[in-house]
Amino acid sequence: MENVVLIVHLLLALALIGVVLMQRSEGGGLGMGGGGGAATGRAAATALGKVTWILAIAFICTSISLTILAAQKSAGGSVIDRLSDVSVPEPALADTPADALLPPSQGEDAPLVPTAD
């Protein structure tokens, strides 16, 4: 069910992008431009405008439904609860002697640990 809603959501997003890009730019931005009535200042609704609104409402509905589906899926517990169930392995270096962890010195015959002379 979640995959179907996700695919519809992605298709709506692509369609919404396409419809918005096909619309004519009126130059005003935020609905300030355009003709229409002198008293209302609102442009006549075009077919692309109506399709944009329909796609936007459908996109918001699929967003909300995906959020609800994800919340129902993760209602079992928190991340902290999941961490307590995981066993932590012991470090691999615990059995290694300390001399083996030191970097090699300049010469082959030089001791690994500096000696007090």
Rounded CA separation 59/9 (Å): 6
DSSP summary character for residue 98 = G
- pTM of the predicted model as reported, rounded to 2 decimal places: 0.53
Q: Which residue has the higher pLDDT, 64 or 102?
A: 64
- Give the model confidence (pLDDT) of 48-98 as tens digits: 889 999 999 999 999 999 999 988 887 666 677 667 666 656 665 566 666
- Span 7-26, average pLDDT: 92
Rounded CA separation 5/2 (Å): 5
